[in-house]
Structure 1
């Protein structure tokens, strides 16, 4: 039985605002590892718009067939076959100029978020960028009623999920040797955070 391409309305909505930041930050970069590619929509959208980049999508093995459908249909020269990557398992041995991840930190359990940041130094090239998109709390507070409702919905699905505190994530990034460059306000009460590894 043929599967339909997976589709995320959120990906369709946020792709252009995220692209505006990637287009500026990823000039002069060659390779990007996307962690948690989900449906594969972002990989196709961003790789098409940023043809100088080699885009490496990745996700847990069960999501790879859907990602392949998007990549195969787009047939872009600068997308690689998706990698199986569980942040708690084995990581690639390649180094990348940038790592991008959207809407993952609130889905992963906190120990997995810690593991993700602990592993980043093994895949980021010197001076490499980490770009993370999603909702965050600041000083322990939700930034909007809609984010509070979203957090409650996540925790009802799985108590290990939830919107993360910016300060806690900042500490993990600092421990991984990353320096925060930018914190962008994004539509729908999301943020786009840009860190850089030491050169």
Structure 2
């Protein structure tokens, strides 16, 4: 992970941003506010906000290091529709936003405890308008589909880092979402054995 000043660069963000961009074009509203959860380095926020000038982009991350990186990237690009990053921990009952027209979480669900996914779904259920979308990106296990060796290895590596991390069963994530008023709308195969998963508010 390269760094310059307070900002840092995520190789995975640079690899996957074009594939994710194709998904965002299809599912994000034409205008409104997008809340990005666990924005990390901020490179996704910069990339997408620049291409979606009619949308307000609200990055967030519980890490002060990540928020500093986002601010530094933002100061360089000077995008009018990119807001200052918020300190949002999804496990907290109250977030620092009252509404969002769409919510995006890239590579969060598997690199966090299950309680974070619970918090994400609860928050999305509260903030999204009717038919508003929650877009997730990352690796998942699916019933009836082979769990490829590269994802098995990655899952083992994650659990060695933290036993509360790991690649989740998509059906369990969807069941949790349903309990929070979110209906599974689309599951799209992505490069490198990842998925884009779209939920909509009932």
Q: TM-score, normalised by structure 1?
A: 0.94
Q: Residues of 2 paired with 1:155 and 1:148: CA distance?
A: 11
How many equivalent pairs are there? 197
Q: How far apart are residue 141 of structure 1 and its match?
A: 6.7
Unpaired segments of 5 or more residues in structure 1?
none
SS state of the match for residue 86, structure 2? strand
Whether the aligned pair in 1 keeps the contact of 2:6 and 2:68 (CA below 8 Å) is no
Distance of aligned partners of 1:45 and 1:138 in 2 relative to their CA distance in 1, 3 Å threshold: same
- Partner in structure 2 of residue 19 of structure 1: 21
- Partner in structure 1 of residue 111 of structure 2: 107
Query: Could you report, residue by residue, the CA deviation over 1:57-76 in whole angstroms, capped at 9, with x for unpaired residues?
Result: 00014221111111111111
Q: Residues of 1 paired with 2:137 and 2:144: CA distance?
A: 18
Whether the aligned pair in 1 keeps the contact of 2:29 and 2:101 (CA below 8 Å) is no
Q: How far apart are residue 140 of structure 1 and its match?
A: 8.4
Whether the aligned pair in 1 keeps the contact of 2:91 and 2:118 (CA below 8 Å) is no
In the TM superposition, structure 1's runs of 4+ consecutive aligned residues that sit over 3 Å from their partners are none
Aligned partner (choices 191, 194, 200) of residue 196 of structure 1: 200
SS state of the match for residue 100, structure 1? strand
Q: How far apart are residue 93 of structure 1 and its match?
A: 3.7
Query: Could you report, residue by residue, the CA deviation over 1:44-63 in whole angstroms, capped at 9, with x for unpaired residues?
Result: 00011111110000001422
- Partner in structure 1 of residue 79 of structure 2: 76
Q: How far apart are residue 4 of structure 1 and its match?
A: 4.3
1:146 aligns with 2:155: no
Q: How far apart are residue 78 of structure 1 and its match?
A: 0.7
Unpaired segments of 5 or more residues in structure 2?
none
Q: Residues of 2 paired with 1:152 and 1:50: CA distance?
A: 37
- Partner in structure 2 of residue 163 of structure 1: 167
What value does the CA root-mean-square deviation take over the aligned residues? 1.5
SS state of the match for residue 127, structure 1? coil
